[in-house]
Structure formats: structure tokens, C-alpha cells
């Protein structure tokens, strides 16, 4: 049975390294017969959570009127969620973190998801992605029925597009292809 796959690309650079890996994951997942959508978070208007908890008293409606309600509904509807981010100071970038925090409005509805993670970084020491991976896992830990399916750490890439001639491209494609 095909899956509904939602790729959340945190890359602030269109066609940046993590965004390119998202495209390869998507190519593989589509070839496996899945319904796939990629959202470039930087192209959406998503503000940061202000901890006002308006959502608690309004049945999950956020006080901030931006694109997050649409994205959150897609997260709820998805079977598979891919979280992708470049490593910024050993963690996820601000775009993805804001999105994760904003799921608080309806976080109990995001459940039973298979998670895949993609990170890219200039550093060649993959332990530099440990905190990024911990952030991905920390979010999934809050999702009831979450299952981690895979992680790619594209190390040693900094310049936009540098990821293209690396084995990470094949890894991302194969990981997407494995979604069933």
C-alpha cells in the first residue's frame, strides 16, 4: 500500500545540500508508488510559537495566522514525515525548529508516523550532527506511535550543490525507495 509522505525541507537555500537530498528521497519514494509532497519551510510564512496557549482554549487553532495551520494539517494526514535540516551550530536551523515548536497547537493529533531524518553539514566529523539528530528524535519522542526509519548525515559539504557528487545522493534515493 502506498504511503502519504511529507518532506519538510528546513534548508533556507533553495537547492541547498539538504534540500537536494530531499529531492533524491522524493524521487525514490515516488518511484515506489508513494504520494509525496515536499514543503520548503523557508518559502512558507511560519512564525515562532509565543507560548500564549491560545490553542489550548480554541481546539487547536493557533493565534498566529500564517501558513502553519496548512502545514500542520498535512503533518497530521501524512503516514511518513521526513525532517531535513542543515546543521547550524550543532543543531537544526531556525526554520525547522519554529515549525516543530508550532505543532504544539495540535501535537496530540500528529501520531503513528514513520520518521526519516536528513542532515547536512560542512564538518566531516559526523558526531557534529549528534545534537541535530537528538532534536529530530526529541520531536518524534513526543509523537505517539512514532517510528524512526532512517537517518542520513551528509558530512563535508558546505557550498550549495556540493552534495551532488557524493554517495549521500544514492543513500537518499534508496532511503526514499524503501518507503512502502
Gap between the Cα atoms of 31 and 77, Å rounded: 21
- Sign of the four-CA dihedral 78, 179, 8, 103: positive
Output the pLDDT for position 1. Answer: 72
Gap between the Cα atoms of 47 and 39, Å rounded: 16
pTM: 0.97
Report in angstroms the alpha-carbon separations of 108 from 99, 140, 146. 15, 12, 12
**Which regions in the chain score pLDDT beneath 50?**
none
Output the pLDDT for position 143. Answer: 98
Which residues 6+ apart lie within 8 Å of 99 measured at CB? 8, 10, 41, 46, 68, 71
Are the CB atoms for 155 and 126 separated by under 8 Å?
A: yes
Output the pLDDT for position 145. Answer: 98
Q: Which grid cell sits at 127?
A: 558526531
H runs (alpha helix) in the chain = 17-31, 54-57, 68-77, 94-102, 130-141, 168-177
Output the pLDDT for position 84. Answer: 98
Output the pLDDT for position 138. Answer: 97
Output the pLDDT for position 132. Answer: 97
Amino acid at each position: 500500500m502506498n504511503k502519504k509522505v511529507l518532506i519538510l525541507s528546513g534548508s533556507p537555500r533553495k537547492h541547498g545540500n539538504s534540500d537536494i537530498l530531499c529531492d533524491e528521497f522524493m524521487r525514490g519514494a515516488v518511484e515506489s508508488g508513494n504520494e509525496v509532497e515536499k514543503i520548503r519551510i523557508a518559502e512558507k510564512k511560519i512564525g515562532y510559537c509565543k507560548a500564549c496557549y491560545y490553542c489550548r482554549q480554541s481546539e487547536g487553532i493557533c493565534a498566529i495566522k500564517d501558513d502553519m495551520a496548512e502545514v500542520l494539517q498535512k503533518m497530521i494526514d501524512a503516514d511518513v514525515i521526513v525532517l531535513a535540516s542543515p546543521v547550524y551550530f550543532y543543531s537544526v536551523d531556525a526554520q525547522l525548529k519554529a515549525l516543530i515548536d508550532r505543532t504544539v497547537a495540535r501535537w496530540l493529533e500528529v501520531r503513528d508516523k514513520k520518521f526519516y531524518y536528513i542532515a547536512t553539514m560542512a564538518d566531516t566529523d559526523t558526531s557534529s550532527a549528534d545534537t541535530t539528530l537528538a532534536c529530530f528524535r526529541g520531536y518524534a519522542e513526543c509523537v505517539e506511535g512514532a517510528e524512526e526509519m532512517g537517518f542520513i548525515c551528509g558530512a563535508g559539504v558546505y557550498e550549495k550543490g556540493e552534495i551532488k557528487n557524493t554517495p549521500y545522493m544514492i543513500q537518499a534515493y534508496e532511503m526514499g525507495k524503501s518507503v512502502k
